[in-house]
Amino acid sequence: MAAIRHSKAWDDPATRRAWTQLFACALLGQVVWPVAWVALLAWHVSLPVWTLWFFFLPLLYSFYRTFLQPAYVTSALRTRRLLQEHPWQVFEAPESGIGEIPGAGMGDVWLSFPDPEQAGEKVPVILHGHIRSAWWRRRLGRGFTTKKTAQAKEVWLAGDPRSVGVIAVPGPQRLFVIYQQLSHKVK
């Protein structure tokens, strides 16, 4: 584990910059997706009926994202709270996999971190399905090294893997909230 320069992750200017970018994207989506939905709906109304097929999927997706977007804002605020409470811990090539552990489905990607209370024990954390987890899912658990998996060779963690935390790649970049569900805790 590498040396940590700040007592809290939030004290690092790069962390605040990464969070600001995350929050700005969440707020931007809060505006853009409803506007896109209304614009597509208005455009569709002004065109012939047969064009419905061209606009149906974008219209449906923008409607879906309109109602999903508040969760991104909430997640960004939760991320900030965790970063303000915990320091970064750096892990070189943490153990990861797909499936293989109790509580994980066949396609569930997981990371394993050392248990803070019991030396030598590991705490696996399943990356729950979320649109932001796709980047992590493509880079973890494969069991072989590619250019993509090398991007997540070093993982930063702010928090406690037994409950909740934020993971990131060096920089920090790709902030993602991880959490344990009671049914997935494995000792």
Q: Is 27 exposed, middle or buried (0-12, 13-18, 19+ CB in 10 A)?
A: middle
According to DSSP, residue 91 is labeled: E
Max Cα–Cα distance, the chain, nearest Å:
68
Q: What is the pLDDT of residues 135-180, one digit of tens each?
A: 888 888 766 677 877 888 899 999 999 999 999 999 899 999 988 8
Closest CA to 187 of 118, 136, 127: 118
- Classify strands 109-114 and 154-160 as parallel, antiparallel or unpaired: unpaired
Domain boundaries, the chain: 10-85, 88-184
pLDDT at residue 28 greater than cutoff 70:
yes
Lowest-pLDDT range of 7-11, 48-52, 75-79: 48-52
Residue with tokens 């915990």: 86
pLDDT at 113: 92
pLDDT at residue 137, rounded to an integer: 80
Amino acid at 138: R
Is-contact 58 40, C-beta < 8 A?
yes
Cβ atoms of 155 and 167 within 8 Å: the answer is yes
Phi, psi of 120 (to 5 degrees): 85, -15
Decide if pLDDT at 39 tops 50.
Answer: yes
Q: Is the C-alpha dihedral spanning 149, 84, 22, 184 positive or negative?
A: positive
Mean pLDDT, range 180-184, rounded to an integer: 64
- 95-98 and 109-114 as β-strands: parallel, antiparallel, unpaired? antiparallel
